[in-house]
Structure 1
Amino acid sequence: MNKVDGFQYKTLIPIRFADIDAFGHVNNAIYLTYFEIARSSYWEEVIEWDWDSVGIIIRRSIVDYLKPIILTDEIYTYVRTSRIGTSSFDLDYIIVKIVDGKEEICTTGQTLCVTFDYKTNRSLPIPASQRLKMEGK
Structure 2
Amino acid sequence: MKRTPVIKRLEIRYRDLDPYGHVNNAVYLEFFETLQFAYWRRLAENLGVELETGDLPGARHVVAENRVRYVSPVFLDDELYGAASISSVGNRSYTMEYELRVGKSFEEGELAAEGSAAHVFYDPEAGSSRPRPDWFLSAVAELEGVPEEDLLR
**Number of the residue aligned with 1:62:** 67
Deviating 4+ runs (over 3 angstroms): 47-52
Moved more, 38-47 or 118-127: 38-47
How many Å separate the matches in 1 of 2:112 and 2:36? 18
**Number of the residue aligned with 1:25:** 22
Structure showing the higher strand proportion among its residues: 1
Superposed counterparts of 1:1-137, under 5 Å: 5-46=2-43, 51=55, 52-98=57-103, 102-136=108-142
CA-based RMSD of the aligned residues comes to 2.0
Does the aligned pair in 1 maintain the 2:6–2:42 contact within 8 Å? no
Does the aligned pair in 2 maintain the 1:47–1:134 contact within 8 Å? no
Q: TM-score, normalised by structure 1?
A: 0.89
Q: TM-score, normalised by structure 2?
A: 0.80
> Residue 63 of structure 1 aligns to a residue in which SS?
strand
How many Å separate the matches in 1 of 2:78 and 2:27? 15
Does the aligned pair in 2 maintain the 1:47–1:130 contact within 8 Å? no
For residues 41-82 of structure 1, give each alpha carbon's deviation from its aligned partner in whole angstroms, at most 9, with x where no partner exists. Answer: 111223566634331100000000001000001111110000
Give 5+ residue unaligned stretches, structure 1: none
How many Å separate the matches in 1 of 2:116 and 2:43? 18
> Residue 95 of structure 2 aligns to a residue in which SS?
strand
Identity of aligned residues (%): 26
Does the aligned pair in 2 maintain the 1:96–1:103 contact within 8 Å? yes
What is the identity, as a one-letter code, of the residue corresponding to 1:59? Answer: A
Moved more, 118-127 or 98-107: 98-107
Number of residues of Structure 1 aligned to a counterpart in Structure 2: 134
